[in-house]
Structure 1
Amino acid sequence: MNSQSKRLIKVFFMYTFSAALSIAILIFLMQLWKANLSVPLDYNADGLFSTIMVKGLIENGWYFNNKYLGAPFGLEMYDFPMADNFHFFIMKLISLFIPDYASVLNLYFLLTFPLTTVISLFVMRKLNFSNTVSLIGSLLYSFMPYHFLRGEAHLFLSAYYLIPLMILLIVNIMSNDRDNYGAKKKLYSLFICLLLSSSGVYYAFFICFLFIIGGLVSSLKFRALYHIKISLILVACIGFGVLINISPSLYNNYATGKNTEVAIRDTSHTEILGLKISQLVLPIDNHRINLLERLKKKYTSTAPLVNENSFASLGLISSIGFLILIITSLRQWKIKEKSELLINLSNLNLSLVLLCTVGGFGTLFALIVSPSIRGLNRVSIIIAFLSILAICIIIDYTRKYLHKSVFNVLLIVLLLIALFDQTSKNYIPNYQALENSFSTDKDFVGKIESAISAETPAKVFQLPYIFFPEASPLNKMGGYDHFRMYLHSNKISWSFGAMQGRFSDVWQKEAVQKPVKDFLEQLSLADFQGIYLDRNGYADNGKQMEEDLHSYLGAPSVISSDNREVYFDLSNFTQSYKNSMSNTEFIKKKEIIKSPTLIKWNGCYGVETQGERKWNWCSNKVELELNNLSLHNKELTLKMTVLSGFDVPSQLKITSTDGSEKLIFNAQGSDYSKKIIVPAGQRYVINISSDSKKIDANGDPRNASGMYFRLENVSIE
């Protein structure tokens, strides 16, 4: 066996061993021998969102459309752009061999640990760290608190294994070694950047910023434009990749108009969710040492703006590395062989802190460019890798002063201290509780499916109505709890999951606002077979709503074993309602309900109420779109009252295919009425613009786009 073969075997063994060790540590820390991997490791809140995305990916080909959610018209995800197609692609590949959605989700999440270890090890070896130091450093990075705390709820943030490769590219750009820019390495760099562009917009944004900083600093240092040119090319590559990822959403916005009710972001969010240095260096929540646990609780209970940024804890070892980088920024340390690397890392670290800290340059970016990148605390996982590299530089430097065996023992002790400090018993899911809850829901949905005889996907309406996505908890019910039913069904289309502001969501909101009898009639005409009710969603535990439904539908046909959910069968009510009229009349009513004139406002915010008054605040440019889904022309009348926030008169310009009109209004309001004919199968668009002054609403997320006037008691009949 020649030396080349021996070297390859040694390398293969090193990476295999690192992956195996990572898996072994993961099994121990999470006690995975207790887990049932056919049950999601997170069955609440955002964990449910991740789970339905994986199930939808498997059942519908990709994640954009899901016919089993958002009934009666289905779920379309175009209004919630995601640049995560690389992650979806990997899970799609896994599903070809393991078709169970929960197993795919769990397996991918668990695989992110050895993937992070192996890739980090590769990068550290490329940076000329010794094998043992590289192994310890890569394990430290794999088991950051961030990894567990993001978990399956923020699955794509947990999958941060590409970050080390990006840092390697940036460090290479910051060096003056032209060998780093050969043709092969350029192609490799472009490929890695394209992968990153398909792995989430946050990491893409942070890395693009570091490319610009690294290229700029190096060009100034070496007085050469080459560094910044390479950086800008890679930034352009990432930007192009992100655009390709979100292009379906961009096209949907162009074709159907922008949905102004979804993913509303405001400059203030970057302050609320900004990075806090204190949270980087403070211990994790529920630390194993009581003194440190009390210290963190004291901070959490007294400090403002404590939210997901508490996930930023670096742990003791990485915090020391972070402080080394800060000190290096102030006074450059001279460490043989790796001084340049340490200085470059310190520059990158300081740049990220200045960008992402509360009130930093990230806030200015949100103010001037876009507030879409709001969770700036998520940069902590990049800072963590820079900090670990700093620690590895110091450790590698001390290696020559210690006997090899002593050095290796100290490294093992360091790893054990880090794992003890960075992890908590709270990172172990309550596997028994998860399985019990999962089984209860599965049994309940199974009984519903047994009671439904429909061959095609049956429709079930879910109460209470909750908008999607990003709804807050409602009473004792989580914003995504309705998704639990979908996870256990194969032949039911559930109402929850209609994209807020789109047709199916508008249809549902209009339905639930009707008197109970009219509501049930609308469901019957739309071919809904039943109603699911989650008692946790009501302040009175659903008592009043159940009584109302009981008066028309009788007792619920299925009740969950934990008495939380009930199911009402609509079939008898539908048959009785159908018998109350001629078949021709029933079919005509079905066509009206199933092919309605769907109304969509672009440029107006969600409805607000006070007593019988209802209104929507709007930006200075509004588009009203009327879609006639029926086979007949429809004559409609638009009525509304237009108000500004000031006594000074303003002008409203209303433009459509029928011509243009003007309306003068102020804070007292002016009434407007217009008759409209919408052709069969077509849409009718009315554009509304105003010269009224903007309402000053600091702290309101709507302030970013602006609130200029409001439309009150709008009716289109």
Structure 2
Amino acid sequence: MFLRRFAPLFCLAALALAIWCGFTHRWTLEAWRTPLQLHGDPLEIYTRVQAAAEDLSQPLRGYSVLPRLAAPLEADWSRYPVSDRVVFTLLGGLARVAGVFAAVNIAIALTHVLNALGFYLVARFLRWRHEWAMALGLLFAFSSYNFRWGVTVSFSLSFVVPLLLLFCAWVARSAPAIRPRGWLWFGIALGAWFGGANPYLGFFAAQLAAGAVVLQLLRRRDFARWRVGLIFVLVTGLSFLLHNAAYFLSPAGAAQRLTLVRNYAGAEIYALKLTDLLIPPMEHPLAWFNELGRAYYAQSALRTEFFINYLGIFGILGLVLLVVAGIKGMVARRSARLPDAFLGLCWTLLFSAVGGINSLLAFAGLDVFRASNRNSVFILVWVLLFLGAWIQRRWRPRSLAWRWALPALIVGVGVFDSLPKLRVHRMLQHNATELAHNAALAHALEQRLGRGAMVFQLPATVFPEAGTVVRMTDYEHFLPYLLSDSLRFSYGALRGTAASRSIRALSRLPTPRLKQELEAAGFSALWINVRGVPDQAGPLLTELRALGLEEFPQKENPDVRIFLLQPQQPPRPLDLTNPAFYERWDVITALTRPEIVVLDGWYDLEQDGNRSWRWARDVATTSLRMPTGGRVELRFRAYSLEPGQLVVTCRGREVYRHIVSGATRDLRTIELRLPAGRHPLDWRFTGRVTYPPAPDGRELGFAIEDLSVVPVDQPPPRS
């Protein structure tokens, strides 16, 4: 009885696993230990798993203490929203046994199995026949969305989406509730999961449940049903707040609360487009479909997350059937004939499309949930459920062979249509070779430097989402961390934090002083990825060799140069409040000259010929360092997009006030008499902060151009 009841589940799981292993060539232990993707965003996922393996409590604590990153300090990612904490904790435990890459590969395989089972269980609850529940479950599991997001683990854990839509259908149903207690606990469990899962899915899941409550109130007003839906929304919101408490409770004056760059432009770029659902990928196995995808990619202006949302030919067929049924229901003017899935489809497009409701929310300031294109997974489930129900009503052959023949054919064609044409075997061989070489380099370096030695990495890029730097892909600095046992690396400090600022400031020092500061801080080696530095880091390498630094001999990675340092014992701790570790206003000046550094509120430096300027919103701060006391003149040009008053204060004392606008470009001076030391200068603008013309998405208030400081008591030193 047990085997007969659960045999379809085991068969479906085995089929899903076999399809995934067959496509990704996972037939050997070596293949399981090798990632299919080794560059870009997957490296961050591997790093999270590695950090969890080193300390299983890290995901649950929001990765608040990462001692091997952001050296000589410790990385703190608690202000970086983390989803699926329990999942990454389990992955960390698995990585302790199998290794990071094998653990992630196992997770990807299990995710596909879970997605197939989740859809199957919902279909069986709806009284589908086994063959169609299994067939459509496999189409869902190996959809373009689930396969392409697989390595992220978080985005591809979509097995709960069919369960959610079943739950919402129960809440909205126009019938008296029977035994609602089970649905109540089911809703609480779902809400707890969605609140801690990927925030995009959780945000939209709460909307759908709220919509189901509204439908129930419009239809029957069954208290048991709408109460369960409302409890789900509340539990989802509470779970989300608990999982992101470190972000929401961070003090107002702390470093950037949200470390990701978000604005309205992102809501347009990552919005859902109807074409994304319909146009096949340029890696499609069929040449004609392949050309369609290439043409779409070449002509599109918004080049982000291509082909992830492709529904597949059977998903598109389900979409057409659902739209036709919805139109018929509207023409008949009978709400009972209007499918709930059609209402959900309309809301998803209205909310998620370019210029839709999500874009309006982003324009109003709620730009955290910018990537509404990821809501396509809800459309995918609706259209597959509708397609399966439509086929079952029309396909009732008596022969057992014919019963299974059409579902099997649909699975074969659908999976072939969804999975990209990749040279998987060659990719695995290339990645295995690259991993072996980098692991050998990391091991040799660790043997030479000793356990726990610190390595400073250049270029010093921000984390997360730095993008490609020259030719170095994002997160590439994580690779030696993943392949070493105890070495500490400078990369990984959260952007906007004092640690990130100080590490990047160190990297901008002149080469002789860089060597001096790194050795004083206790660094044992300087790691340079020449693909991330202009001119292949030629001038920098020449200067380091001129200083007599020993180069670590290695042939494993031709893009990396490593120079050995003599770490000071004991090392000198970094003073994160020292303006010397903040970015200088313009160029690095002589240490004996008064200098200006950026403290807070300024955008990056912009230059045009001999002109240089920085924009700010309404409040920004610089610091003036005086080696000796005396009188100085602060010289600058100030202007703004909208008229307003600019006030400058030094230690609370007002030293300048003037009306600025787009036409005020005259040179201004402020004479100050200051003692030796560091003096903060606060710049406050009272005008309206606004947006410049597209494509610049920043909020701008005022700009300061050609800012300089000149001593008055004695002639300025020669350049």
Given the two structures, how large is their TM-score scaled by the length of structure 1? 0.86
Q: Secondary structure at the match of 2:33?
A: coil
Asked whether the 8 Å contact 1:269–1:375 carries over to 2, the reply is: yes
Match runs of 1:121-136 below 5 Å:
121-136=120-135
Distance apart, 1:271 and its partner CA: 1.4
Match runs of 1:127-276 below 5 Å:
127-152=126-151, 154-179=152-177, 182-222=180-220, 229-254=227-252, 256-259=254-257, 262-276=259-273
Asked whether the 8 Å contact 1:444–1:561 carries over to 2, the reply is: yes
Q: Secondary structure at the match of 1:650?
A: strand
Judged with a 3 Å threshold, the aligned counterparts in structure 2 of structure 1 residues 284 and 235 are, in CA distance, closer, same or farther, namely same
The amino acid that maps onto 1:428 is V
**CA distances 1:662-699 after superposition (whole Å, capped 9, x unpaired):** 633534465566969999xxxx9987542123353133
Pick aligned residue for 2:572 from 590, 594, 598: 590
The amino acid that maps onto 2:658 is I
The amino acid that maps onto 1:15 is L
The amino acid that maps onto 1:83 is S
Judged with a 3 Å threshold, the aligned counterparts in structure 2 of structure 1 residues 554 and 341 are, in CA distance, closer, same or farther, namely farther
The amino acid that maps onto 1:414 is I
Quick one: distance in 2 between partners of 1:485 and 1:547?
24
Judged with a 3 Å threshold, the aligned counterparts in structure 2 of structure 1 residues 87 and 314 are, in CA distance, closer, same or farther, namely same
Q: Secondary structure at the match of 2:536?
A: coil
Q: Does 1:391 align with 2:387?
A: yes
Deviates more, 1:376-385 or 1:34-43: 34-43
The amino acid that maps onto 2:372 is L
Task: State the identity as a percent.
Answer: 18
Distance apart, 1:51 and its partner CA: 0.8
**CA distances 1:480-515 after superposition (whole Å, capped 9, x unpaired):** 111111111122111111222211221122222221
Pick aligned residue for 1:310 from 299, 307, 312: 307
Q: Does 1:343 align with 2:336?
A: no
Quick one: distance in 2 between partners of 1:89 and 1:405?
45
Q: Does 1:412 align with 2:404?
A: no
Judged with a 3 Å threshold, the aligned counterparts in structure 2 of structure 1 residues 390 and 591 are, in CA distance, closer, same or farther, namely closer
Q: For residue 461 of structure 2, what is the aligned residue in structure 1?
A: 466
The amino acid that maps onto 1:509 is R
Q: For residue 643 of structure 1, what is the aligned residue in structure 2?
A: 638
Asked whether the 8 Å contact 2:176–2:222 carries over to 1, the reply is: no
Q: Does 1:69 align with 2:69?
A: yes
Structure 2 residues not aligned, in runs of 5+:
583-597, 625-629, 712-719
Quick one: distance in 1 between partners of 2:225 and 2:656?
56
Q: For residue 378 of structure 1, what is the aligned residue in structure 2?
A: 374
**CA distances 1:277-310 after superposition (whole Å, capped 9, x unpaired):** 1221222322111111112222222233242142
Q: Secondary structure at the match of 1:179?
A: coil
The amino acid that maps onto 1:694 is V
Q: Does 1:111 align with 2:143?
A: no
Distance apart, 1:593 and its partner CA: 5.8
Quick one: distance in 2 between partners of 1:163 and 1:378?
12
Distance apart, 1:23 and its partner CA: 0.7
Asked whether the 8 Å contact 1:51–1:102 carries over to 2, the reply is: yes
Pick aligned residue for 1:43 from 38, 43, 57: 38
Judged with a 3 Å threshold, the aligned counterparts in structure 2 of structure 1 residues 639 and 193 are, in CA distance, closer, same or farther, namely farther
Structure 1 residues not aligned, in runs of 5+:
1-5, 579-586, 627-634
Judged with a 3 Å threshold, the aligned counterparts in structure 2 of structure 1 residues 649 and 276 are, in CA distance, closer, same or farther, namely closer
Q: Does 1:443 align with 2:437?
A: no
The amino acid that maps onto 1:122 is L
The amino acid that maps onto 2:140 is Y
Q: For residue 629 of structure 1, what is the aligned residue in structure 2?
A: none
Name whichever structure is richer in helix by fraction: 1
If asked which structure has higher relative contact order (CA below 8 Å, sep 6+), I would say: 1
Quick one: distance in 2 between partners of 1:78 and 1:437?
32
Quick one: distance in 2 between partners of 1:67 and 1:410?
56
Deviates more, 1:531-540 or 1:246-255: 246-255
The amino acid that maps onto 2:474 is G
Quick one: distance in 2 between partners of 1:16 and 1:208?
32
**CA distances 1:698-717 after superposition (whole Å, capped 9, x unpaired):** 335653x54444486489x9
Q: For residue 696 of structure 1, what is the aligned residue in structure 2?
A: 691
Quick one: distance in 2 between partners of 1:161 and 1:422?
18
Q: For residue 595 of structure 2, what is the aligned residue in structure 1?
A: none
Asked whether the 8 Å contact 2:111–2:156 carries over to 1, the reply is: yes
Match runs of 1:15-26 below 5 Å:
15-26=9-20
Q: Secondary structure at the match of 1:531?
A: strand
**CA distances 1:359-390 after superposition (whole Å, capped 9, x unpaired):** 22221121225111121111122211111101
Judged with a 3 Å threshold, the aligned counterparts in structure 2 of structure 1 residues 264 and 642 are, in CA distance, closer, same or farther, namely farther
Judged with a 3 Å threshold, the aligned counterparts in structure 2 of structure 1 residues 52 and 553 are, in CA distance, closer, same or farther, namely farther
Q: Secondary structure at the match of 2:563?
A: strand
Q: Does 1:277 align with 2:277?
A: no
Q: Secondary structure at the match of 2:640?
A: coil
Distance apart, 1:100 and its partner CA: 2.0
Quick one: distance in 2 between partners of 1:519 and 1:281?
53
Quick one: distance in 2 between partners of 1:674 and 1:592?
30
Quick one: distance in 2 between partners of 1:438 and 1:90?
24
Quick one: distance in 1 between partners of 2:86 and 2:274?
31
Pick aligned residue for 2:618 from 617, 620, 624: 620
Quick one: distance in 2 between partners of 1:156 and 1:553?
48
Alignment RMSD (CA, Å)? 3.5
Quick one: distance in 1 between partners of 2:223 and 2:342?
22
The amino acid that maps onto 1:590 is R
Pick aligned residue for 1:286 from 273, 283, 293: 283
**CA distances 1:220-277 after superposition (whole Å, capped 9, x unpaired):** 23356765554333222211111111112223344734347x3121112121121111
Quick one: distance in 1 between partners of 2:176 and 2:91?
38
Distance apart, 1:437 and its partner CA: 0.6
Asked whether the 8 Å contact 2:144–2:419 carries over to 1, the reply is: yes
Distance apart, 1:78 and its partner CA: 2.6
The amino acid that maps onto 2:276 is Q
Asked whether the 8 Å contact 2:279–2:307 carries over to 1, the reply is: no
Q: For residue 591 of structure 2, what is the aligned residue in structure 1?
A: none
The amino acid that maps onto 1:438 is L
